[in-house]
Amino acid sequence: MRKRRLESMMKVVFLVSALTGILSVALICVFLFANGIPAIGKIGLFEFLLGREWSPNDVPPAYGILPMIVGSIYVTAGAIVIGVPIGILTAVFMARVCPKPLYRVLKPAVDLLAGIPSVVYGFFGMVTIVPLVKELFGGRGHSMLAASILLGLMILPTVIGITESALRAVPQELYDGAVALGATHERAVFSVLLPAARSGVMAAVVLGIGRAIGETMAVIMVAGNQPRMPAGILKGLRTMTAGIVIEMGYAADLHREALIATGVVLFVFILIINLSFSALNRERG
């Protein structure tokens, strides 16, 4: 009897927890859309999304976020190009190659990377990556390249951790069967285990993209924060998240609403990315 009561009570606790999470997401959506959609209506959808000038203090003001949209896409794409291959290969090494003594050191180090605050990453990028980019490639250093490199480093713990878990969840029989058929260790890992862990790897990539496109503080410190169309990988730019954080403190009226509308666009971007990867995963499954 006591066990049944405990089980019933835990069911209620789990239900309340699930409903709390759903309610939180719903409230965020309501806040964003209730405050952002009217601003888009006042500015004009195409002028807001395709406008190339962001100058809220001019007369008349301009609220075009296309440079920030493109900047966010470029920086995120650069981070994925840098971080995903390194993360997947590191996860393969840790799951199937790494000696146990080395793993006991490497695993905590990767976990520690996940716990470093964004501002610390940003400070590291500002004092290390930015001067290195300036010395090797010229320019001011604060650039798309510096931001991409830094975000590539920041998504590594996410990609490595989830990919490693996915690889370890693949049944050992698949690897043994591949080796029994004559495959080398490397071929068995990359031709059998990695494809079998595809859903987990794709989840790691999606979360990595979400981390990269949603990052703010580190990008502010290394990207240059110039609200203009990106002119090259060695030029400065501004992302949507950086624009919101930089100006929200003093924004008012339509300016504030336009920043919230920028958050709506960012929310829709992340939603589209998640839905696209989910649909692709189901199609390949």
Residue 158 sits in the same domain as residue 29? no
In this prediction, residue 86 has a pLDDT band, given cuts at 50, 70 and 90, of: very high
Residue 47 sits in the same domain as residue 102? no
Residue 168 sits in the same domain as residue 40? no
Let me know if residue 189 belongs to a domain. yes
Q: How far, CA to CA in Å, does 240 sit from each of 4, 111, 137, 220?
A: 51, 28, 26, 11
Residue 45 sits in the same domain as residue 86? no
Let me know if residue 48 belongs to a domain. yes
Report the pLDDT averaged over residues 67-95.
Answer: 91
Q: Are 210 and 270 in contact (CB under 8 A)?
A: yes
Residue 144 sits in the same domain as residue 36? no
Exposure b/e, 141-168, CB count within 10 A at least 16 = b:
bbbbbbbbbbbbbbbbbbbbbbbbebbe
Highest mean pLDDT: which of 25-34, 57-66, 72-81?
Answer: 72-81
The residues facing 55 across adjacent strands are 62
Let me know if residue 60 belongs to a domain. no
What is the value of pTM for the model shown?
0.85
Let me know if residue 41 belongs to a domain. yes
Indicate left, alpha or beta for 58 from its phi (over 0: left) and psi (-120 to 50: alpha): beta
Residue 174 sits in the same domain as residue 258? yes
Let me know if residue 101 belongs to a domain. yes
Residue 144 sits in the same domain as residue 196? yes
Q: Is the pLDDT of residue 151 over 60?
A: yes
Q: Are 141 and 131 in contact (CB under 8 A)?
A: yes
CATH at 277: 1.10.3720.10
Let me know if residue 127 belongs to a domain. yes
Instruction: State the first-to-last Cα distance of the chain, in angstroms, to the nearest integer.
Output: 44
Q: How far, CA to CA in Å, does 189 sit from each of 81, 94, 135, 174, 278?
A: 22, 12, 39, 10, 24
Mean of the per-residue pLDDT values of the chain: 86
Residue 27 sits in the same domain as residue 153? no
Q: Find the domain containing 218 and state its range.
A: 65-284
Residue 26 sits in the same domain as residue 115? no
Which phi and psi angles does 63 have, rounded to 5°?
Answer: -125, 60
In this prediction, residue 79 has a pLDDT band, given cuts at 50, 70 and 90, of: very high
pLDDT tens profile 3-29:
777 778 888 888 888 899 889 888 888
Residue 114 sits in the same domain as residue 160? yes
pLDDT tens profile 166-186:
888 888 888 888 888 888 888
Which phi and psi angles does 15 have, rounded to 5°?
Answer: -65, -45
In this prediction, residue 232 has a pLDDT band, given cuts at 50, 70 and 90, of: confident
Report the pLDDT averaged over residues 149-159.
Answer: 91
pLDDT tens profile 190-211:
888 888 888 888 888 888 888 8
Interatomic CA distance for residues 221 and 115, integer angstroms: 19
Residue 244 sits in the same domain as residue 138? yes
The domain tally of the chain equals 2
Report the pLDDT averaged over residues 246-251.
Answer: 82
Residue 48 sits in the same domain as residue 163? no
